């Protein structure tokens, strides 16, 4: 979930499987090994979560893994105005809890947000051989926009520059000597937007290291990109100066892209839909723009649909047609939504294609082709497709 703004600021190594639920120096570092994985449940390819514990004794929470923000937050059991997520933190039951009396207000790009007090306590992540350290988190007393959330909070995995230099969980781990390398790696698997299950192998977060031997389909291919600061401050997992192509159409050069595990789809800059409609029409396809600012096309052969490519210094990463579009036997919808900002926001639709290594020491993000990335995204009655637009409505738009 891409964080929009922080409004107020006042007064080893571990391998962690991910869970997902639904709501509306390089080569030697990348090949370092990890701990044993464990399976956990996933659901519909929309949100990826991990289990953490906060406090002494530990209280358990399922938190979304979000590279587009930087703070960890959970609701307080004394919440004044909250959406009442499943599990809330009871500060009175923790012998190690401390309230700094610093009020934090934060809002995400989708309009959801929270306010609460910056706190510290013991935070642990991982089911076995867990990493534990005293860490910052926000204990929330007011929030909005999380009514249907299938998680208890969010753990931000972006840079502390987003949040007025409040140390992140990754910062806390490194400062405490719990990890020697401030990096993490994620594999997020794909189950065709259907139901819940484990997937094989399960999605995985590894902190302090990575394991491309297990999670890459071709470990010899690694794309390394430098992270770009904003006014000399590192905030997001942002790479500047991409050249973007949609099929044979070159869309732009010198383009910014932000990689965000908390965003399900891909958000484009303004103007993409018009260009994409022209490109698709040149292939003889009948297409239309939906009320959701996505594109739907009548299409019986998805293989003719264009890929979306991002090139930096002759290195190209892409979303191929089999994952860029969600199709049934008559209609395909592109999983790109036009936004209002000048950058691309590359969410899970993109990140599922690659095992991604986020390195906060070297300020790089690296991609190697993920395992199990070749299946088509298809739709049936149980699919997420119905969250965007029903088949009946789509056909009406195109007729």
pLDDT digits 0-9 by tens, 3-51? 433 333 333 555 555 544 433 333 332 333 333 332 344 556 788 888 8
Taking the CB of residue 250, how many other CB atoms lie within 10 A of it? 13
Q: Name the residue among 396, 48, 382 with its Cα closest to residue 205.
A: 48
Residue with the larger pLDDT of the pair 62 and 148:
62
Domain with CATH 2.40.70.10 in the chain: 3-187, 215-398
pLDDT at 202: 83
What is the rounded distance in angstroms from the CA atom of residue 208 to the CA atom of residue 129? 13
pLDDT digits 0-9 by tens, 172-185? 999 999 999 999 99
Structure confidence at residue 330 as a pLDDT band (50, 70, 90) = confident
Q: Which positions ≥6 away from 6 have C-beta within 8 Å? A: 104, 105, 106, 162, 163, 164
Q: What is the mean pLDDT of the chain?
A: 84
Report the predicted TM-score, pTM, of the whole model to 2 decimal places.
0.88
Residue with the larger pLDDT of the pair 117 and 291:
117
Cite the active site residues. 66, 260
- List C-alpha distances in Å: 322 to 74, 192, 291, 294: 36, 11, 24, 17
pLDDT at 84 over 90: no
Residue with the larger pLDDT of the pair 337 and 40:
337
Structure confidence at residue 68 as a pLDDT band (50, 70, 90) = very high
Q: Is 215-398 assigned to CATH 3.40.605.10?
A: no
- CATH for the stretch 3-187: 2.40.70.10
CB–CB of 208/12 below 8 Å? yes
pLDDT at 380: 57
């Amino acid at each position: 979930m891409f964080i929009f703004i922080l409004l107020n600021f006042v007064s080893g190594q571990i391998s962690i499987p991910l869970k997902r639920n639904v709501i509306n120096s390089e080569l030697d570092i990348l090949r370092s090994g990890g701990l044993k994985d464990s399976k956990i449940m996933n659901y519909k390819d929309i949100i990826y979560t991990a289990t953490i514990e906060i406090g002494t004794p530990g209280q358990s929470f399922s938190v979304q893994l979000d590279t587009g923000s930087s703070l960890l937050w959970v609701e307080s059991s004394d919440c004044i105005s909250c959406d009442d997520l499943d599990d809330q933190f009871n500060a009175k039951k923790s012998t190690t809890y401390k309230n700094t009396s610093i009020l934090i207000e934060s809002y995400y790009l989708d309009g959801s947000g929270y306010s609460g007090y910056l706190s510290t306590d013991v935070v642990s992540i991982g089911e076995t051989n867990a990493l534990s350290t005293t860490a910052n988190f926000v204990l929330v007393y007011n929030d909005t926009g999380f009514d249907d959330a299938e998680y208890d909070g969010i753990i931000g995995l972006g840079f502390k520059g987003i949040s007025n230099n409040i140390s992140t969980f990754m910062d806390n781990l490194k400062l405490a000597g719990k990890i020697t390398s401030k990096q993490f790696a994620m594999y997020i698997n794909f189950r065709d937007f259907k139901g819940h299950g484990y997937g094989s192998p399960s999605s995985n977060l590894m902190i302090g290291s990575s394991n491309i031997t297990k999670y890459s389909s071709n470990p010899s291919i690694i794309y390394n990109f430098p992270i770009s600061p904003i006014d000399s401050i590192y905030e997001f997992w942002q790479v500047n100066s991409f050249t973007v192509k949609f099929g044979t159409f070159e869309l732009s050069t010198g383009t910014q892209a932000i990689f965000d595990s908390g965003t399900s789809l891909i958000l484009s800059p303004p103007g993409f839909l018009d260009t994409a409609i022209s490109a698709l029409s040149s292939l003889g396809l009948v297409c239309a723009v939906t009320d959701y600012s996505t594109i739907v096309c009548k299409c019986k052969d998805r293989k003719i649909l264009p890929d979306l490519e991002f090139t930096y210094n002759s290195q190209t990463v892409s979303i191929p047609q089999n994952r860029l579009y969600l199709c049934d036997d008559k209609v395909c919808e592109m999983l790109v939504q036009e936004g209002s900002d000048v950058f691309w926001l590359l969410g899970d639709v993109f990140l599922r294609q690659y095992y991604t290594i986020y390195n906060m020491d070297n300020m790089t993000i690296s991609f190697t082709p993920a395992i199990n990335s070749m299946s088509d995204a298809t739709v049936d009655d149980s699919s997420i497709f119905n969250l965007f637009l029903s088949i009946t409505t789509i056909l009406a738009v195109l007729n």
